Amino acid sequence: MSFTAIILAAGKGSRMKSSLSKPLHKVAGSEMISWVIDAARSAGAETIIPVISDCTPDLASFLSGYSIAIQKNQNGTADAVMAALPHIKNRTQPILVLYADTPFINKDIMCELLDNIKSGSDICVLGFKAENPSGYGRLVTSSTGSLDAIIEDSEASTSQKMITNVNAGIMAFNGSIIEETIQKITPSNSKQEYFLTDIVSVGSKNNLSVDYILTDKEHVIGINNLEQLAIAESVAQNNLRRKAILSGVTMIAPETVFLQKDTIFGQGVIIEPNVVIVGSVSIASNCQIKSFCYFEKCSIGEGNIIGPFARIRPDTVTRQNVKIGNFVEVKKSTLGEGAKVNHLSYIGDTQIGDNANIGAGTITCNYDGYRKYETKIGNGAFIGSNTALVAPVTIGDNAIIGAGSTITQDVPNAGLSLSRSEQTIIPSGAEKVRNKRK
């Protein structure tokens, strides 16, 4: 169903103790508000209107391209929604009010709220059943089961405090009634703030159809400080690991593997303990990721064996059956099918051909202090151990580079190149050295 999503993101976020706007703090590598935007898009949002304050330029920059509403005065959640209404072009569509600091709301929950509006409700509130409802607004219902009011904990009667169905904050509206109804809300406290929760009692008194649905608490976790952010990260990681395992990924010690919201796996992947994946990473089927590897914004081909202790940096692409071994760092490079970089090497700004073998201790010298330069290594080339390839340089197909070489000139196809000092041997020289030292 097409709808308009209003995302409230104007809170000061002072409890985060950070100069970064609260909605831009990340959970599993994605900004909190990005989680909400992505879920709204997947649910069918035609228009997304973030509501922000005028003192969060970093958030405004991040949201460039959206129809941003500005809440000039922090006068409550109802006032924030009012700031968004002039930006809504189609009032015949449902309107869904979301929160930037509630990242785990998902498509299915949104669609259930919207279906409720489609079925005739004017207002539908999202709630959850709390084991300990203390501190939450209670969902107070009528004898017919409709929602009469949301009563804050501090104002609840003894009997109302026994209610375990509590408010999660998120609401859906019939777009044609929201403005008129929200204008009837009056300030509810000494700060003269207008709370969106009051729209329930206003709607009920004005004979609107007000309903609610319940979800699991995990989906509506709010984040207001760094402790809650850490809890949310733990929840996200557990969910991502479970999703990966159910899709065909074997994790030997799942609690030590850290993923991102956008990580993509093929089937038959095996991940050993202590692996970290950040940024946009895809790992194709039948790969083995050994312990203590780090991946960032890269694409790993089918049948790769990576690690242990490998660091794969941004813009790296590996083809099928590549082997990258212990203490190898690869950055902005492409490794052809069957290529091997097994030990103690740095590969940067490099194109490596199919079935090339890079010996232990090989370094591509890609930076001169001012600019980066590219190294090209052909199909079937063999680079001997402890070689420095000074870019820009091209090593031809099936070429061989002798161990210990520093290569500064191109090597042709099938060429042999080496650069090392002549070896000197002095008979009995070791004995002379030891006698002198004694």
Catalytic positions: 343
Main-chain dihedrals φ then ψ at residue 176, nearest 5 degrees: -80, -15
Instruction: Mark residue 343 as left, alpha or beta (left: phi above 0; alpha: psi -120 to 50; beta: remaining).
Output: beta
Cα gap 22→107, rounded to integer Å: 23
Cα gap 117→393, rounded to integer Å: 65
Within 10 angstroms of residue 249's Cβ, the number of other Cβ atoms is: 23
DSSP 392: S
DSSP 54: T
Q: At 236, is the secondary structure helix, strand, or coil?
A: helix
Q: At 169, is the secondary structure helix, strand, or coil?
A: strand
Cα gap 179→29, rounded to integer Å: 36
> Closest Cα to residue 264, out of 303, 230, 297, 306?
297
Cα gap 119→246, rounded to integer Å: 35
Q: CB-based contacts of 162: which residues, under 8 Å, 6+ apart?
A: none
Cα gap 144→140, rounded to integer Å: 12
DSSP 422: P
Angle, vertex CA 400, rays to CA 396 and CA 402, nearest 5? 135
Question: CA separation (Å) from 33 to 38, 40, 85, 382?
Answer: 9, 11, 20, 49
Instruction: Mark residue 211 as left, alpha or beta (left: phi above 0; alpha: psi -120 to 50; beta: remaining).
Output: beta
Cα gap 16→47, rounded to integer Å: 29
